[in-house]
Structures are given as C-alpha cells and as structure tokens.
Amino acid sequence: GDSVTQMEGPVTLSEEAFLTINCTYTATGYPSLFWYVQYPGEGLQLLLKATKADDKGSNKGFEATYRKETTSFHLEKGSVQVSDSAVYFCALTNSGGSNYKLTFGKGTLLTVNP
Amino acid sequence: GAVVSQHPSWVICKSGTSVKIECRSLDFQATTMFWYRQFPKQSLMLMATSNEGSKATYEQGVEKDKFLINHASLTLSTLTVTSAHPEDSSFYICSAGGGLADPGDTQYFGPGTRLTVL
C-alpha cells in the first residue's frame, strides 16, 4: 500500500536558519503530494501541494518540489521564524474518484528559538 | 476560502453519555468528509470517510456502532461518540474535500475537537 516516510524530529533551529524536512513516499500511479502544518492545539492547515512530477508547491516562504525519480517531496525554507514552530506532516493522496484518502507521515516537530 | 469549522472545540462528558461533534464546510460544498482521531504527539488516524447521502465507510478496527457518522448535506457531517468511555478521550479532527471549490484532491481540515471523558 501507499506510505509516507518523513524525518523524525524533533528539529530545533535558531531563527533565520535554513530548514529542510525530508519526505519520501511509496505509491502506485501518480499521487498528489501535500505538506500540512499543525500548530499546538489546532487542526491541520494546508501549507502547500503539488499534483504532478516536477511541480513546485510554495507558500509563506516554504517550498517543496515533487521529485518522481527519487519519490521525494522535501520541505524547505530559507529563513525560519519563531512563528514557524509547529508539527509538519507530509501526506499523499492516490485516489482518482471522489474518495481522496490521505496517507500521512508521522509528523515532524519543529521548534525555532529566538 | 475553503474554511472548515468544528463544534464544539472542546467537550468534557461523563462516562456512558453520548457526544455529538459537528463539522461544517463554510464556504464550499464538500462531497466527501473525513473523520480522524489524533493521540498526543502522534499522526492522524483515519476513522471513516463519508459521502453526502450515503453510509460512511469505516476503517478497519473502528466500531461503526460506537462512532456514528451522518453526512446529511454537502456542508455538514456529524460524528457521535456513543456511550463514551475514558479511552475515547482524544482529539477528533474532520476534513472536507472533493467539492466544487476545489474539485481536485485537497482536503481542508477543521480546527479539531478535544473530547475528555471522565
């Protein structure tokens, strides 16, 4: 079945540091790939997505490129802020019809210190 | 756009009572809604998928009679935890997708409901 593997945290960085959170996937066909962010005590917010190979999703300074050859979708940000502290989930969906089930990675806790 | 709300945001109840959680898509119509459960410091566990006007599809190991799901309209789904017990205490999150606003495969999540059963 489909699966998502993301780097285990926690990740602790200083403000303005460069961020990479690795994500690789296993799926048949052509999945869509997502990064969601969860702030403490809240639900998930869509951060960015990519629906086909070589697409780059970007939002709020974060970006990730859909790499089919390496089955990866690594999340990057050039300069993190304290407000970026949250749990980040990589996910994929691989359904063609009306049932878009998401397969999640385990999540990576990011803490940014001032 | 693509806002999903949940109500209540938190609830405390006595063991043996039933609790209903509402999930609404506020600015789009969602053909499919999902219910997840999240334990502390863990990822989301899909409980069930519901399509408007049809019965929900439950994931393996999820008790249908305990977690009743109703998807009465394109903007509202409800999860009722029946005869709740302390082990049902958790963070319940819904998501909505597949609607006219985004006919692709993006799911939009609600803010979650914290259930504590005493």
Q: Residue for token digits 């709020």?
A: A60
- Residue A102 has a pLDDT of 87
The answer to whether A101 contacts chain B (CB < 8 Å) is: yes
Helix (H/G/I), strand (E/B), else coil: A59: strand
Kindly give the confidence (pLDDT) of every residue in chain A, 114 residues in length, as a single tens digit, with 9 standing for 90 and above.
889 999 888 999 999 999 999 999 999 888 899 999 999 888 899 999 998 899 999 999 999 999 999 999 999 999 999 999 999 999 998 765 445 788 899 999 999 999
The answer to whether B25 contacts chain A (CB < 8 Å) is: no
Contact A89, A7 (CB under 8 A): no
- Residue B104 has a pLDDT of 58
Q: What integer is the mean pLDDT of B60-71?
A: 93
Q: Which residue from B43, B106, B112 is facing A104, i.e. has the nearest CB?
A: B43
Least CA distance to B45: which residue of chain A? A104
